[in-house]
Amino acid sequence: MFKKKIFITMLVMLFLSLTVSGVFAQETVKIGTLMPLTGGLASYGQFTRNGTLLAQKIINEQGGLLGGKELELVNVDTQTNPQAGVDGAQKLVSVNGINAIVGALSSGVTIPVAESVAVPGETVLISPSSTSPVLTTLEDNGYVFRTVPSDSLQGVVAGNLAADLNNDKLAIIYVNNDYGQGLNDAVIEQFEKRGGEVTASIAFEPNKVSYRSELMEAASENPDALLLIAYTDDGGITIIRQALENGYFNKFIFTDGLKAPEITEGVEQYLEGMYGTAPTSMPGGNGPELFTELYEEEFGEIPPKPYIDTSFDATFVLALAIEKAGSTEGPAIRDAINEVLAEDGMVVNINEWNKAKDLIAAGEKIRYEGASGPVIFNDVGDSMGAIGIWKIEDGDIVNESVEIQ
């Protein structure tokens, strides 16, 4: 019995020491990041985190913020899961005393974090990748932003693309989650507006070994092309292969989740000349090129994964807002975001933190030419965005043109 008590006391003490050890730190300005480093989106989280680290490096090299204090990033792993994400966010807010957070990636984590931590805790949350339309209408007291456009934008462009490629009848297969469904609905609406007919719209469960029955159903009314909304690692590649192998389709249109070189491996000749869409940077400004250059200097070759640039931008924008607000209080940061950013402001590039500080000190507004293009939020905190069209040429992915919304 005595032994048991000692054992339990030890465990409790261990836990307490863990909690308390997070408390000692020097005077810095902190921004939290909520990135999935384990779980379903781990392969993205690693690189989006690099995006935020790059922003931190640039800011600290140019003298930090709020009068020379260093910017510190505190990351917690969301495990791509809402329970863990909400807990982590609360930790950032309460224990680390942070009122500005970059994250989370998936809408399924971002929304509960916003509703149960960020809004009640008066904390600004900027998601670099949650594209769910729900975020637009969230009652967030203005605390929630995102540096990506909503799914509905890409759906419109993809629907137009399908019509422009002279397809009269279109079949859609989409991954069964909020991303897939949102995109699917938007595509159908736009394609039918253009006079086309969607013969089939089929949701698929990720990670199954065979999608032949879905493909058979999709092909049953002889559509001209298949619009595939999927990720590479949840079944997208399997669907492409099985579609080609059994001859269900020979014309494809892809979305951003499949904008990755793996999709053509071994089947280059069959996918030659196919088109796809993906959110991309607004034209004008050289943010994207500069970002690629800086990223590769720091971390090596930039992987063809999305949301690295938007993560950088989210961090940079938060730093701008903190500098403008002159404080790290949530409400002040929230108000400062819209005060500091303006479409017709003075241009600041992603490596010009010093210039930004001077402009803020002079009371000027800033047009931030971000890594993903100029970052301007509309009145519900969504980023204005652009959707790019890409094409497969000689087995490589080539960007074709950009549609601005």
Partner 1 sequence: MRAMADNIDLAQITGINTERVIIWTWAMSGVLTAAAGILLAFDTHLTPVMGWNLLLPLFAAVILGGIGSPYGAMFGGLVIGISQEMSTLIISAAYKPAVAFTIMILMLIIRPSGLMGKKV
Partner 2 sequence: MTLAGIFSYLVFFLIFVGIYAIMTLALNIQRGFAGLFNIGIAGFWAVGAYTSAIMTKAPSPDHLGGFGMPFVIGLLAAGIVASILALVVGIPTIRLREDYLGIATIGIAEIIRLVIKNEAWLSNGVRGISAIPKPLAGVFGSNYNLFFLLIVIIVIAIFYYLSEKGINSPWGRVLRAIREDEEVVKAAGKNVVRYRMEAFILGAFMMGVGGALYAHFTSFISPEAFRPMQATFLVWIMLIIGGSANNFGSIIGAFLTWGIWTGTEFLTGMLPAAYTTQAAAVRVILIGIFLEVILLSRPQGLFGEKKYSSKSTANSK
* For partner 2, the closer CB: 88 or 388: 88
What pairing do the DSSP bridges indicate for beta strands 169-175 and 275-280?
unpaired
Question: Does residue 84 belong to the site contacting partner 2 (CB under 8 A)?
Answer: yes
- Considering only 206-214, 221-229, 253-261, 307-315, which stretch makes contact with partner 1 by CB under 8 A? 206-214
Burial class (CB in 10 A: 0-12, 13-18, 19+), 251: middle
Beta-bridge mates of residue 203: 174
Question: Does residue 206 belong to the site contacting partner 2 (CB under 8 A)?
Answer: no
User: Of residues 9, 13, 15, 266, which one binds partner 2 by CB under 8 A?
Assistant: 15
Question: Does residue 38 belong to the site contacting partner 2 (CB under 8 A)?
Answer: yes
Question: Does residue 209 belong to the site contacting partner 1 (CB under 8 A)?
Answer: yes
| Nearest approach, Cβ of residue 237 and partner 1 (Å) | 5
Question: Does residue 241 belong to the site contacting partner 1 (CB under 8 A)?
Answer: yes
- Considering only 67-75, 157-165, 245-253, 340-348, which stretch makes contact with partner 2 by CB under 8 A? 67-75
User: Of residues 9, 13, 19, 164, which one binds partner 2 by CB under 8 A?
Assistant: 19
Three-state SS at 160: helix
Give me the phi and psi of 9, to 5 degrees please: -60, -40
Angle, vertex CA 231, rays to CA 226 and CA 236, nearest 5 = 50
Cβ(279)–Cβ(385) under 8 Å? yes
Question: Does residue 10 belong to the site contacting partner 2 (CB under 8 A)?
Answer: no
DSSP symbols for 361-393: HTT--EEEEEBTEE--B-TTSBBP-EEEEEEEE
Question: Does residue 59 belong to the site contacting partner 2 (CB under 8 A)?
Answer: no
Which of partner 1, partner 2, none does residue 207 bind to, with CB < 5 to 8 Å depending on kind?
A: partner 1
| Nearest approach, Cβ of residue 255 and partner 1 (Å) | 19
Q: Express the helix, strand and coil content of the chain in percent, nearest 5 each.
A: 45, 25, 30
Residue count of the chain: 405
Question: Does residue 91 belong to the site contacting partner 2 (CB under 8 A)?
Answer: yes
Question: Does residue 146 belong to the site contacting partner 2 (CB under 8 A)?
Answer: no
User: Of residues 145, 179, 191, 204, which one binds partner 1 by CB under 8 A?
Assistant: 204
| Nearest approach, Cβ of residue 305 and partner 1 (Å) | 16
54: part of which helix (H) or strand (E)? helix 42-61
Q: Where are the alpha helices (DSSP H) in 114-245?
A: 134-137, 151-164, 178-193, 212-219, 236-245
Question: Does residue 134 belong to the site contacting partner 2 (CB under 8 A)?
Answer: yes
Q: Residue 340: CB partners within 8 Å, gap ≥ 6? A: 320, 321, 323, 324, 360, 365, 366
Burial class (CB in 10 A: 0-12, 13-18, 19+), 364: middle
- Considering only 173-181, 193-201, 343-351, 376-384, which stretch makes contact with partner 2 by CB under 8 A? 173-181
User: Of residues 168, 205, 272, 393, which one binds partner 1 by CB under 8 A?
Assistant: 205
Question: Does residue 58 belong to the site contacting partner 2 (CB under 8 A)?
Answer: no
405: part of which helix (H) or strand (E)? none
* For partner 1, the closer CB: 42 or 380: 42
Question: Does residue 207 belong to the site contacting partner 2 (CB under 8 A)?
Answer: no
Beta strands in 26-138 (DSSP E): 28-35, 70-77, 100-103, 124-127
User: Of residues 202, 267, 402, 404, which one binds partner 1 by CB under 8 A?
Assistant: 202
Burial class (CB in 10 A: 0-12, 13-18, 19+), 269: exposed
User: Of residues 58, 73, 105, 237, which one binds partner 1 by CB under 8 A?
Assistant: 237
Joined together, the tokens standing for residue 400 give: 């074709």
Query: DSSP letter at 400?
Result: E
User: Of residues 61, 205, 221, 289, which one binds partner 2 by CB under 8 A?
Assistant: 205
Closest CA to 41 of 88, 84, 85, 80: 80
Question: Does residue 236 belong to the site contacting partner 2 (CB under 8 A)?
Answer: no
Query: Which residues form the interface with partner 2 (CB under 8 A)?
Result: 4, 7-8, 11, 15, 18-19, 21-23, 25, 37-38, 42, 46, 49, 53, 73-77, 79, 81-84, 86-88, 90-91, 93-97, 106, 108-109, 111-112, 115-116, 120, 132, 134, 138-139, 176-178, 180-182, 203, 205
Query: Which residues form the interface with partner 1 (CB under 8 A)?
Result: 176, 202-205, 207-210, 212-214, 216-217, 233, 237-238, 241-242
